[in-house]
Structure 1
Amino acid sequence: MTSRLLLISPAIGPALREARFYDGASSIDEAPAATGALPEAAHVVLSPGARCRDTAEALWLRGVTAAELAPLDAGQWRGRTLAEVAATDGEALTRWLADPDCPAPGGESVRQVCARVGHWLASLPEGRTIAVTEPEVIRASVIHALNLPAKTFWRLDAPPLTATELSGRSGRWNLRLGRPLGGD
């Protein structure tokens, strides 16, 4: 059984532009042009955040929301900028960024989001799935697929409106990452 997964990162919005911990409500600044270059998919799934739903709509994708694709839960830091958190809770922020087992206050750790996304990947159906999801979910997917250590999480980048592709079967994944939408 071969599964093919096309992970699409959302268009840029105020939260990303301001280096703000995402609160799920912020949307995108400008809708991407629907390219028509996306492959046909048997399944389309979306992160529950507004920016992913709006990006999918602009790309003419209709799908179901998957709670497993929610962004990393920043807990008490949700909605605050990185600079604000660093100024008021710098020691906790430093620990959270350095230790994949350290959760954000009232939130989750990098290892927890990697496990959540890994569980979702293990349940992927056969055929092609398109997922419009948060950059941190794309990072967690790559970590799971390549069996990378969780500490590499912050060293991976999923720029806005790029596609990361995974294909595999029986727990063995191949990776193609970071191509612009509409490219080959």
Structure 2
Amino acid sequence: MTSRVVLISPAMNRSLRQARFDDGSPLDDRGRERAAAAAGSLPSAARVVVSPSARCRQTAGALGLDGAEAAGLAGLDVGRWRGRTLDEVAVAEPEAVGRWLTDPSSAPHGGESVRDACARVAHWLDGLRETDGRTLAVVEPDVVRAAVVHALGLPASGFWRLDVPPLTATEFSGRGGRWNLRLGRPLDVPEAGSGF
């Protein structure tokens, strides 16, 4: 049996446009339009799950997906940095940001370490190895990064080396205890070459 998992990154919102740690803001008008334009472009699935953030729930809705919320697929918990830009935090806490970006076990913001987030997502992904049918999941970019790190057996330090554009599909197929990947396929939306 081959397990198939498709991770969809959310459409744009104010936080993504401003390079801000997610603050729970909804999709912006353009993000909602782009997601709605991609509705119907995804394959059928036996199950649909969604990260608990507003932008993931709204992206799923605009794509026409009705999925169960999965707390285990939340984005990286950045504690007191939530809602701030990386630049703002780097000015206020330069040593803490330096540690956080270089040590996957560090969580100077009081939230979750990258290593812990990767372990949480790895546990979820490995739980799907023996499932039948395709799983579609609209998830935070952090979840996509963590899943790729796990599937390829990368060190947790590789997490920051992966870019996840909005409204892209990262596809995993698993068999025999390993995962294969197809990375970052843009969803079929008009003006696909114009960027998101």
Superposition TM-score tier, normalisation by shorter sequence: over 0.9
3-state SS of paired residue (2:92)? helix
Letter in 2 for 1:55: T
CA deviation string 1:98-132 (max 9, x = no partner): 11111142101110000000000111122100000
Letter in 2 for 1:158: V
3-state SS of paired residue (2:27)? coil
Unmatched tracts of structure 2, length 5 or more: 190-196
- Identify the residue that residue 4 of structure 2 maps to in structure 1: 4
| 1:98 matched to 2:102 | yes
Give the whole-Å Cα distance in 1 for the aligned partners of 2:146 and 2:56: 17
Give the whole-Å Cα distance in 2 for the aligned partners of 1:42 and 1:168: 16
Give the whole-Å Cα distance in 2 for the aligned partners of 1:35 and 1:27: 18
- Identify the residue that residue 26 of structure 2 maps to in structure 1: 27
- Identify the residue that residue 110 of structure 1 maps to in structure 2: 114
Among 85, 89, 103, the residue aligned to 2:93 = 89
Give the whole-Å Cα distance in 2 for the aligned partners of 1:65 and 1:109: 22
3-state SS of paired residue (2:135)? strand
- Identify the residue that residue 169 of structure 2 maps to in structure 1: 163
- The answer on whether the counterparts of 1:34 and 1:60 sit within 8 Å (CA) in structure 2 is no
Among 114, 121, 124, the residue aligned to 1:120 = 124
Paired residues for 1:70-89 under 5 Å? 70-89=74-93
Unmatched tracts of structure 1, length 5 or more: none
Letter in 2 for 1:10: P
- Identify the residue that residue 16 of structure 1 maps to in structure 2: 16
Give the whole-Å Cα distance in 2 for the aligned partners of 1:171 and 1:106: 34
3-state SS of paired residue (1:121)? helix
- Identify the residue that residue 192 of structure 2 maps to in structure 1: none
3-state SS of paired residue (1:97)? helix
Question: Percent identical across equivalent pairs?
Answer: 65
- The answer on whether the counterparts of 1:4 and 1:129 sit within 8 Å (CA) in structure 2 is yes
Give the whole-Å Cα distance in 1 for the aligned partners of 2:88 and 2:46: 42
Give the whole-Å Cα distance in 1 for the aligned partners of 2:164 and 2:158: 13
| 1:130 matched to 2:136 | yes
- TM-score normalized by the length of structure 1: 0.95
CA RMSD of aligned residues (A): 1.2
3-state SS of paired residue (2:6)? strand
- The answer on whether the counterparts of 2:38 and 2:188 sit within 8 Å (CA) in structure 1 is no
Question: Which runs of 4 or more aligned residues in structure 1 lie more than 3 Å from their structure 2 counterparts after TM superposition?
Answer: none
Among 53, 56, 64, the residue aligned to 1:52 = 56
- TM-score normalized by the length of structure 2: 0.89
Give the whole-Å Cα distance in 1 for the aligned partners of 2:54 and 2:108: 22
